[in-house]
Structure 1
Amino acid sequence: MIELNTPQGNYPVSAILFDKDGTLLQFVSLWGSWGECFLDQFARKLEQRGLSFPEQHRASLLGTVHDAAGKITDYDRNGPLAMGTMSDLYAIASWQGYSLGLSWAEAVELVDSCRNAADAMLEQSRPVRPLPGLVPFLDACAAQGIPMAVVTADETAAAESHLRWLGIHQYFTAVIGTDQVERGKPFPDMALLACGRLGVSPAEAAVIGDTNGDMRMAKAAGTAVAIGIAGGITAGLAADTRADGTLLPDADCIVSSYAELGVRRMVR
Structure 2
Amino acid sequence: MAQLLLRGQTLADDKGIPHQIEAVLFDKDGTLSISEPMLHALASARISVASQLLAQGHPELAAARGDELVELLGRAYGLGEQAIDPAGATAVGSRQHNLISTATALAQVGLGWPEALALGESVFTATDGLHGQGSQRRPIATPGLHQLVEALGRAAVACAVISNDDGAGIAAFLASANLTCQFQAHWSADHTPHKPDPAAVHALCASLEVPPDRCALIGDANSDLRMAKQAGVPVVIGFTAGWSSPPPLDPCFPCLSHWSELEVRVCGA
TM-score range, shorter chain: 0.7 to 0.9
Distance 1:141 1:156 in 2: 23
1:96-115 to structure 2, matched below 5 A, reads 96-115=105-124
- Residue 69 of structure 1 is matched in structure 2 by none
Gaps of 5+ in 1: 67-71, 242-246
Gaps of 5+ in 2: 12-19
Change (3 A) 1:174 1:251: farther
- Residue 181 of structure 2 is matched in structure 1 by 170
1:12-161 to structure 2, matched below 5 A, reads 12-48=20-56, 49-50=58-59, 51=62, 52-54=66-68, 55-66=70-81, 72-77=82-87, 79-122=88-131, 123-161=134-172
- Residue 244 of structure 1 is matched in structure 2 by none
Q: Once the two structures are superposed, what CA deviation does each residue of 1:85-135 show, in whole Å capped at 9, x if it has no partner?
A: 211110110111122122323222221222122221331525211111111
Q: Does 1:252 align with 2:253?
A: yes
Q: How far is 1:29 from its partner?
A: 2.7
Q: Once the two structures are superposed, what CA deviation does each residue of 1:218-252 show, in whole Å capped at 9, x if it has no partner?
A: 10111021110100244xx65xx7xxxxx221653
* Greater alpha carbon shift after TM alignment, 147-156 vs 100-109: 100-109
TM-score scaled by length of structure 1: 0.86
* Greater alpha carbon shift after TM alignment, 57-66 vs 207-216: 57-66
Distance 2:112 2:188 in 1: 31
TM-score scaled by length of structure 2: 0.86
Q: Does 1:188 align with 2:198?
A: yes
Q: How far is 1:7 from its partner?
A: 2.2
Distance 1:139 1:126 in 2: 26
Distance 2:238 2:8 in 1: 12
Q: Does 1:232 align with 2:242?
A: yes
CA contact (8 A) 2:26 2:219 kept: yes
Q: Once the two structures are superposed, what CA deviation does each residue of 1:163-193 show, in whole Å capped at 9, x if it has no partner?
A: 22333222111110133122421x2122111
Change (3 A) 1:28 1:192: same
Change (3 A) 1:124 1:215: closer
- Residue 5 of structure 2 is matched in structure 1 by 5
Which amino acid in 2 is paired with 1:209?
G
